[in-house]
Amino acid sequence: MSGASGAAGAVVTGIGLVGPLGRTVDELYDALCAGRSGVTAPPADHLLAGVVEAAAFGPPIEPSSVLPPVEARVVDRGIVMALRAAEDAVADACLEIGRDVDARRTAVMIGGVGGLATMSEQAVARAGRGRFGISPYLLPGVLPNMAAARIAIKFGARGYSSAVGTACAAGAQSIGEGLRILRAGEADVVLCGCTEEPLFPAFADGFGNARALASGWTDPAQASRPFDRRRNGLVLGEGAGVVVLERPEFARARGARSYGRVLGWGASTDGFHPTAPRPDGEGAADAMRLALRDAGAAPDEVGYVCAHGTSTKAGDAAEASAVLAVFGPHQPPISSLKGATGHLLGVSGVFSAAVSLLGLRRGRLPATRNLDDPDPKCADLDLIRDSPRPADGAKLALVNAFGFGGHNISLVLAA
């Protein structure tokens, strides 16, 4: 259980996104509703050219735009993306730490695998030049807490700061942990999110050799197809996402704009396998039930489920079983963003939360791209296909994010 049932939620006052399909939540949401794809073949000059057939790339960001020039030369791209997303989120919230909020009452919670690309590059450098090939900035480039640390340093945040490493559940868990911190009265503001930079050969080969990557698609934009009968794997993507969470009373006192609220969250563990989900989906179902209880909400109050939906055979089928078990005869509309964005690993939960809030507020729920022929194991879900679905006054959304190792996180959001 992740908090007292019905306890106060947190207000989302700022959102910053870096990834395929746009630089703002409005651009991302509009692209999804228009049916566009951020999945492409790797450019000829990219390290992944010839390694994978499809990937989802974030925009280029000049490191010196977010860091002093000396540090910018050696920082990992994942940290650069996290800093840009944090800058955008804080600006979006019209928040100045130290002026609008006490720095000691500002927390940072950022997930992600860490600087694996930097580690890979440095391993090659050491193989060529020995110990003298290793940069003295290696450790601040690869440690998984460094995105959170860099954000805290940049904004002068001096409250609780930590990193979440629960694989593809990390971004959603960061939001849940942020809610926990605010409920406990340990902070007034939390910068929550995740950053991932998996688009380099060793990491991609790990997925490929595990037969987890989509393959055989002439058009890369068709490769990621959650819940579809012909899906045969995921498409790796990169990006970062940060949201600003505030205590409701604090946000109201400073007149902050609200995207909506995080009402509750649930966390569970499959206890089953290092990479495969429980086939019956019971671990995922536990997380959803806990999130609903934490939010003080009933299943029939949920008007939209933003699925984890990675486009893998086992994962999508297990999630379908879980959603059917939790919601029974009341099946809310459900879709996955990953048909259009690819799998952004832990960042996916942040993107899903942002899009879900906009979907509730704007009254249109995005469809799953490439869902042409639903898998019979998923066909009993109320799948949003082809075009966006009217939200019909829905006020609550549930977001799923599940990670390797059986880490399951669900969030309940309100417009």
3-state secondary structure labels for all residues of the chain: CCCCCCCCCEEEEEEEEECCCCCCHHHHHHHHHCCCCCEECCCCCCCCECCECCEECCCCCCHHHCCCHHHHCCCCHHHHHHHHHHHHHHHHCCCCECCCECHHHEEEEEECCCCHHHHHHHHHHHHHHHHHHCCCCHHHHHCCCHHHHHHHHHHCCCCCEEEECCHHHHHHHHHHHHHHHHHCCCCCEEEEEEEECCCCHHHHHHHHHCCCECCCCCCHHHCCCCCECCCCCECEECEEEEEEEECHHHHHHCCCCCCEEEEEEEEEECCCCCCCCCCCCHHHHHHHHHHHHHHCCCHHHEEEEECCCCCCHHHHHHHHHHHHHHHCCCCCEEECCHHHHCECHHHHHHHHHHHHHHHHHHCEECCCCCCCCECCCCCCCEECCCCCEECCCCCEEEEEEEECCCEEEEEEEEC
Rounded Cα gap, residues 212 and 391, in angstroms: 33
Query: Residue 46 catalytic?
Result: no
The answer as to whether 2 is a domain residue is no
The answer as to whether 18 is a domain residue is yes
Rounded Cα gap, residues 192 and 162, in angstroms: 10
The answer as to whether 158 is a domain residue is yes
The answer as to whether 5 is a domain residue is no
The answer as to whether 1 is a domain residue is no
Domain count, the chain: 1
Report the CATH number at residue 197: 3.40.47.10
The answer as to whether 127 is a domain residue is yes
* pTM of the predicted model as reported, rounded to 2 decimal places: 0.95
The answer as to whether 4 is a domain residue is no
Query: Residue 308 catalytic?
Result: yes
pLDDT tens across 214-257, in order?
999 999 999 999 999 999 999 999 999 999 999 999 999 999 99
Instruction: Give the active site residue among 168, 192, 194, 378.
Output: 168
Query: Residue 343 catalytic?
Result: yes
pLDDT tens across 175-222, in order?
999 999 999 999 999 999 999 999 989 999 999 999 999 999 999 999
Instruction: Give the active site residue among 33, 192, 306, 308.
Output: 308
* Residue 260 confidence (pLDDT) above 90: yes
Instruction: Give the active site residue among 192, 194, 343, 407.
Output: 343
The mean predicted confidence, pLDDT, of the chain is: 94
pLDDT band per the 50, 70, 90 thresholds, residue 75: confident
- Tell me the residue range of the domain where 338 lies: 10-414
The answer as to whether 197 is a domain residue is yes
